[in-house]
Amino acid sequence: MERVGIVAVAQTHHNQALSQTVRGLVYQVSKEALTQADLPLERLDTIVTCSSDYWQGMGCSNVFYYEAAASYLKDSPKTEGDSANAFAYACMRILSGIHRTALVVAVTKGSEAPSIATLTNLACDPFYLRPVGIEETAAAALQARLSLERYDGGQEMLAQVARRNLRNAIYNPYAHRRGDFSLAEIMGSPIVADPLRALHCAPSSDGACAILLADEETARQLHPDPVWVLGFGWAAEGYDLGERDFLATTALKQAAQEAYSRAGIQDPRQEIDVVELVAPYAHQEPLWYEGLGLCLPGEGWRFSHEGVVDIEGPLPVNPSGGVLANNPYMARGLMRVVEASLQLWGQAGPHQVKGSPKKALAHSTYGLAGQAHTVIVLAKE
Amino acid sequence: MPEERLDTIAETVALPYTWTTGPTLARFLEGLKEGKILATRCPQCRRVLVPARHFCPRCFVDTEEWLELSDRGRLRTYTIVNYKYAGQPKPPPYVIGVIDLEGADVGFVHYVGGIDLTDIDGAARKLEPGLPVKAVWQQERHGRISDINHFAPVS
Amino acid sequence: MPQPVAIVSVGQTKHGRRDDVSFPELVREAVQACLVDSGVGIEEIEAVVTGSMPAPEEGVEAPELWLSEAVGMGVRPRPLLRVATCGTTGMSVAQAAYYHVAAGLYDLVLAVGMEKMYQGDPQGVMTTINDPMIQRPFLGGALVFFGLQCQEYLVASSKPERAREAAAKISVRSHRAALANPYAHIKQDIETADVLNSRIVCYPLHLLDCCPVSDGACALLFASEKRAKQLASVPAWVKGVGYAGDEYWIADKHWVPWESARTASQKAYRMAGIRKPLQELDVAELYVPFSFMELMLYEDFGLCERGRAYELVEAGVTDKGGELPVVPSGGVLCTNPIGATGLIRVGEAALQVMGRAEGRQVPGAKTSLAHALGGTAQFNAVMILSQTL
């Protein structure tokens, strides 16, 4: 795959985002990314945005913020689902050679919208799964129970994953939720959908982020050391919950395989230096390690508490705190790419991992119990 | 018991939302409460934009110069709505107009009232382009776009 | 340079009120039709792009998840992307599928547009497109956005009465063309008097100036050069793509000229090397949900001088036997499952240059234009297709 370069990234603080409109947030991150790269408007060829109409309470949500994403009279489609897919699409626009620069922007204001449970219940068909109360958390809980039954480790391991992410977030000024919680506090937090407790589950945050991409030649003009997109892949499974094997992570494996094959990755555990993944429910993190090939099948739980994935460890996962700390729903996938880029540039500030990481993996997921996944491999020269 | 249909299921999905207006629009709405129509001017293209804007859509720069506009203007275009839909703010027929307010470089969308709509074609003939109109304000205002009830033709 | 990309097959549902199928079944009908048309099996598809109007239209969020099996994700997981850009959705789906192949990453990509309008209240849903703070109370759905636009066009016209008459003729021509389209929703032979006497729904729009509400789906198969040459004797090569959007605030602009329409068409023409569209295009599937808009598009697409679009209609230039037949399929005025509508324009334009448009065929069509519009009269999208690579 030819190279696409990331030359600027921008994101908002959850607290700051509370007082701005969706349109204002889109303007802020778009402006920031363009200013960072010193790219004049006329050299911005295309923009890909990502938002949800249901979340925004507005049909055709990009109509409202179109020119706030620097799109006046420009070619700017909106994707839904997962902003990591918007990123992949923007890369394809550049790889076609038709566009030299592309801005990717995603936004969600959880504070304006009904809950994640309400909106993901609405993502279920109206005849069967919706009336029986399936939504993202309930489906994740079913998966969590199966996970706890199959693997040793139990509630403590679940709590440890949450603890690690929320502690990492202490050093992430953009995060919504953070803290040094004890395992007892986590295991004692209110039950949301057994076995999942409040601190195992991602909050609903406000936020937007933007990434400026360019083809190889332009990227070198715009940045002394672009982050290169080596490969990406994404995949969705079928919808029927009864038919799916919750622990098999088939869509994730497919997405990872596509991304690794494009990026020339053969042993992700050895070749990747830092990982930003989306695990809105703590039990999913060890499950995703396996699907990503970061550890052997069945070893996810053990891997998660051996110190390997700690922020000081050899393969830090979610130094930002991940979505357990900050979950602006539609923007969360793109935010992983933002955070991974900052890590590679050494610009993540207080939550920077040591050891000059060279290759990063950004992952995202959406849909019931991870119906769809996206994997992106990034690297510095 | 009436027979239940099996080929369809009907439901109304009503969802609660609380939207942030943001500092710029909040100030514009404050202006409406005070009986004023506020605008901002772009430092680059110099266009006066209403409702007051946070940034200029074409120049992509912050617009921080505030001004108060007249509540008079001329009708640029309009339509006469004569159909029903779910969640409609008022029963048809009614007129939606685009008004070029004095001093603004962009149009302002609002209802046009004070026209007899029993004969739609006849009403359309009265709504000539360039028709001078003025805002009719609510007595009690709350900082909403409805603080202006409608624009009415002035002689 | 983009890799060459072609459309090799087209599948459509019978559009109309489809109470006989669920949303996934409707989608599958179009997908099956497309696959059967191409001889490709569902397992060979490498990636899928889908799109529809606001998810609230059908009352299901992230509908691509529920519909995933209808596009083959149950067979094996593959890339699935949902694109949603209001009225231009169908064309945005086509353009996204195009980019998958043009980027050199995929050889076979399925583009699927769908809508089950009768599941929701379309104007009610479209009203929510407008921000709740300022524009929502005034701008209802499409009828209001486009009603305002059409009125502005009429006022700007040098001869509003002739423009009004020409718009009625456009409706008549479209309705008659749909009689030859087995997939079309509305099949009604009308006269101009019928248009002018039909009820005013949103002045200046009379009922017969307006598109219907339709259920329907469309699926197109996009292929790389190697696969296209294997799968179709005459593929429809994508020669140009363009897209542009105006500002959100509806009155920030005038609609005459309509900048986003001009920009989108110019981008597509430039990429396709078209300088004299009226001469070089053989057929145009314009997206015309309200009759007057076809007149606007003639002007904004450089087919005639500003203010004189009615002359093209009066001279029969855009009739079936004219120099540039417009919407031989009957178009949006007769069939409008919105998420599919833009894709149907591409599909019909493709069938024309492939020589497979049956009763709608414009003889000898080599180069076609497909178009879509949407948003609050805000977005325009254009794709140019050709028989030759």
- pLDDT for C8-41, tens place per residue? 999 999 999 999 999 999 999 999 999 999 999 9
Intrachain domains C5-120+214-231 and C123-213+237-386 with the same fold: yes
Q: How many H helices and E strands in chain A?
A: 16, 11
Residue A367 is predicted with a pLDDT of 97
Q: Which of C 227-256 lie inside 8 A of B, CB atoms?
A: 247-254
Cis upstream peptide for B51 (omega within 30°): yes
Taking CB atoms and an 8 Å limit, are C151 and B109 in contact across chains? no
**A46-50 and A101-109: which strand pairing?**
parallel
> A135 in helix, strand or coil?
coil
Residue C366 to residue C362: CA distance in whole angstroms: 10
pLDDT digits (tens, 9 = 90+) for A312-349: 999 999 999 999 999 999 999 999 999 999 999 999 99
Top-level CATH class of A4-114+204-222?
alpha beta
Check pLDDT > 90 for residue A366.
Answer: yes
Check pLDDT > 90 for residue B131.
Answer: yes
Q: Which of chain C's residues have a Cβ under 8 Å away from the Cβ of B145?
A: 133-134, 137
Say if CB C381 and CB C342 are below 8 A apart.
Answer: yes
Inter-CA distances, C200 with B79, B120, C193, Å: 11, 8, 13
In the beta sheet, which residues pair with residue A145?
none
**B72-81 and B132-137: which strand pairing?**
antiparallel
Show the 3-state SS of A293-314: CCCCCCCHHHHHCCCCCCCCCC
Name the one residue in this structure whose structure tokens are 């489609």. Answer: A77
Inter-CA distances, C226 with A94, C338, C360, Å: 22, 32, 29
Residue A131 is predicted with a pLDDT of 86
Closest alpha carbon to C173 in C328, C40, C381, C346? C328
Say if CB A17 and CB A25 are below 8 A apart.
Answer: yes
Say if CB A25 and CB A6 are below 8 A apart.
Answer: no
Quote the radius of gyration of chain A (alpha carbons, Å): 19
What distance in Å separates residue C302's CA from the closest CA in chain A?
18
Helix axes A154-168, A284-291, angle to 10 degrees: 90
Scanning every residue of chain A, which has its alpha carbon at the shortest distance from the alpha carbon of C1? A97
Q: Which of B 80-119 lie inside 8 A of C, CB atoms?
A: 80-83, 85-89, 96, 98, 106-111
Name the one residue in this structure whose structure tokens are 């399936």. Answer: A134
Q: Which of C 11-30 lie inside 8 A of B, CB atoms?
A: 19
Interface mutation target, options A16, A23, A32, chain B, most CBs of B under 10 Å = A23
Name the one residue in this structure whose structure tokens are 């690690």. Answer: A164
Greatest Cα pair distance, chain A, in angstroms, is 57
Say if CB C336 and CB C215 are below 8 A apart.
Answer: no
For residue B18, give the nearest of A20, A54, A112 by CB distance.
Answer: A112
Residue B2 is predicted with a pLDDT of 57
Quick one: tokens of A191? 């039950």
Q: Which of chain A's residues have a Cβ under 8 Å away from the Cβ of C69?
A: 238-240
Contacts for B132 with CB less than 8 Å, ≥ 6 apart: B72, B73, B74, B75, B153, B154
Taking CB atoms and an 8 Å limit, are C241 and A74 in contact across chains? no
Contacts for C196 with CB less than 8 Å, ≥ 6 apart: C164, C168, C206
Taking CB atoms and an 8 Å limit, are A63 and C243 in contact across chains? no
Quick one: tokens of A252? 């994730």
Convert C7-26 to b/e letters by CB count within 10 Å (16 or more is b): bbbbbbbebbebeebbbbeb
Residue C239 to residue C388: CA distance in whole angstroms: 9
Quick one: tokens of C327? 């919407």
Taking CB atoms and an 8 Å limit, are B19 and A21 in contact across chains? yes
For residue B79, give the nearest of C19, C136, C148 by CB distance.
Answer: C148
Closest alpha carbon to B76 in B43, B113, B106? B106
Amino acid in the structure at residue B89: P
> A187 in helix, strand or coil?
helix
Check pLDDT > 70 for residue B1.
Answer: no
pLDDT digits (tens, 9 = 90+) for C320-342: 999 999 999 999 999 999 999 99
Left, alpha or beta for A321 (phi > 0: left; psi -120 to 50: alpha)? left
Residue B44 to residue B60: CA distance in whole angstroms: 9
Say if CB A284 and CB A263 are below 8 A apart.
Answer: no
In the beta sheet, which residues pair with residue B152?
B134
pTM to 2 decimal places: 0.96
Left, alpha or beta for B112 (phi > 0: left; psi -120 to 50: alpha)? beta
Residue C386 to residue C389: CA distance in whole angstroms: 7
Say if CB C226 and CB C4 are below 8 A apart.
Answer: no
Say if CB C49 and CB C97 are below 8 A apart.
Answer: yes
Q: Is B6 on the interface with A (CB under 8 A)?
A: no
Q: What is the DSSP string of A150-162?
A: HSTTHHHHHHHHH
Closest alpha carbon to B57 in C248, A308, A121? C248
CATH topology of domain C5-120+214-231: Peroxisomal Thiolase; Chain A, domain 1 (3.40.47)
Taking CB atoms and an 8 Å limit, are A81 and C132 in contact across chains? no
Contacts for A180 with CB less than 8 Å, ≥ 6 apart: A166, A167, A170
Taking CB atoms and an 8 Å limit, are B81 and C139 in contact across chains? no
Q: At residue A195, what are phi and psi to the nearest 5 degrees?
A: -90, 10
pLDDT digits (tens, 9 = 90+) for C361-382: 999 999 999 999 999 999 999 9
What distance in Å separates residue B87's CA from the closest CA in chain C?
6
What's the start-to-end Cα distance of chain B, in Å?
A: 62
Contacts for A242 with CB less than 8 Å, ≥ 6 apart: none
Cis upstream peptide for A195 (omega within 30°): yes
Quick one: tokens of C282? 């053989």
Residue A170 to residue A178: CA distance in whole angstroms: 5
* Chains touching B by CB (3 or more pairs below 8 Å): A, C
Burial of A97 (0-12, 13-18, 19+ CB in 10 A): middle
Detail the DSSP E strand segments found in C25-130.
47-51, 80-82, 108-116
The whole-chain average pLDDT of chain A stands at: 95
Handedness of CA A55, A57, A58, A60 (dihedral sign): positive
> B147 in helix, strand or coil?
helix
In the beta sheet, which residues pair with residue C48?
C80, C110
Scanning every residue of chain A, which has its alpha carbon at the shortest distance from the alpha carbon of C376? A63
Burial of A43 (0-12, 13-18, 19+ CB in 10 A): middle
Q: Is B45 on the interface with C (CB under 8 A)?
A: no
Residue B8 is predicted with a pLDDT of 73
Quick one: tokens of C372? 């879509």
Say if CB C180 and CB C189 are below 8 A apart.
Answer: no
Residue A36 to residue A222: CA distance in whole angstroms: 9
Top-level CATH class of C123-213+237-386?
alpha beta
Interface mutation target, options C248, C249, C263, chain A, most CBs of A under 10 Å = C248
Residue C77 to residue C66: CA distance in whole angstroms: 14
Give kind and range of the element (H or E) at residue B73: strand B72-81
Name the one residue in this structure whose structure tokens are 């340079």. Answer: C1
B82 DSSP assignment: -
List of chain C residues with pLDDT < 50: none
Give kind and range of the element (H or E) at residue A325: helix A322-325
Detail the DSSP E strand segments found in A189-245.
191-193, 196-197, 206-215, 227-236
Residue A32 to residue A93: CA distance in whole angstroms: 22
Q: Which of A 30-89 lie inside 8 A of C, CB atoms?
A: 52-54, 57-68, 71-81, 85, 88-89
Better-scored residue on pLDDT, C48 or B126: C48
Interface mutation target, options B81, B121, B149, chain C, most CBs of C under 10 Å = B81
pLDDT digits (tens, 9 = 90+) for A38-91: 999 999 999 999 999 999 999 999 999 999 999 999 999 999 999 999 999 999
Taking CB atoms and an 8 Å limit, are C133 and B124 in contact across chains? no
B4 DSSP assignment: P
Q: CA angle at residue A368 from A367 to A369, to 5 degrees? A: 115
Quick one: tokens of C103? 């980027």
Say if CB C223 and CB C5 are below 8 A apart.
Answer: yes
Q: Which of chain C's residues have a Cβ under 8 Å away from the Cβ of B57?
A: 247-249, 252
Over range B12-28, report the average pLDDT. 87
- Ranges of each domain in chain C: 5-120+214-231, 123-213+237-386
Greatest Cα pair distance, chain B, in angstroms, is 69
Residue C33 to residue C182: CA distance in whole angstroms: 14
Residue C352 to residue C364: CA distance in whole angstroms: 9
Q: Which of chain A's residues have a Cβ under 8 Å away from the Cβ of C129?
A: 58-60, 63-64
Interface mutation target, options A48, A80, A105, A229, chain C, most CBs of C under 10 Å = A80
Give kind and range of the element (H or E) at residue B141: none
Q: Is A346 on the interface with C (CB under 8 A)?
A: no
Taking CB atoms and an 8 Å limit, are C143 and B81 in contact across chains? yes
Chain centre to alpha carbon of residue C29: 19
| pLDDT tier at A302, thresholds 50, 70, 90 | confident
What distance in Å separates residue A316's CA from the closest CA in chain C?
28
> A163 in helix, strand or coil?
helix
Residue C134 to residue C137: CA distance in whole angstroms: 7
Q: Is C161 on the interface with B (CB under 8 A)?
A: no
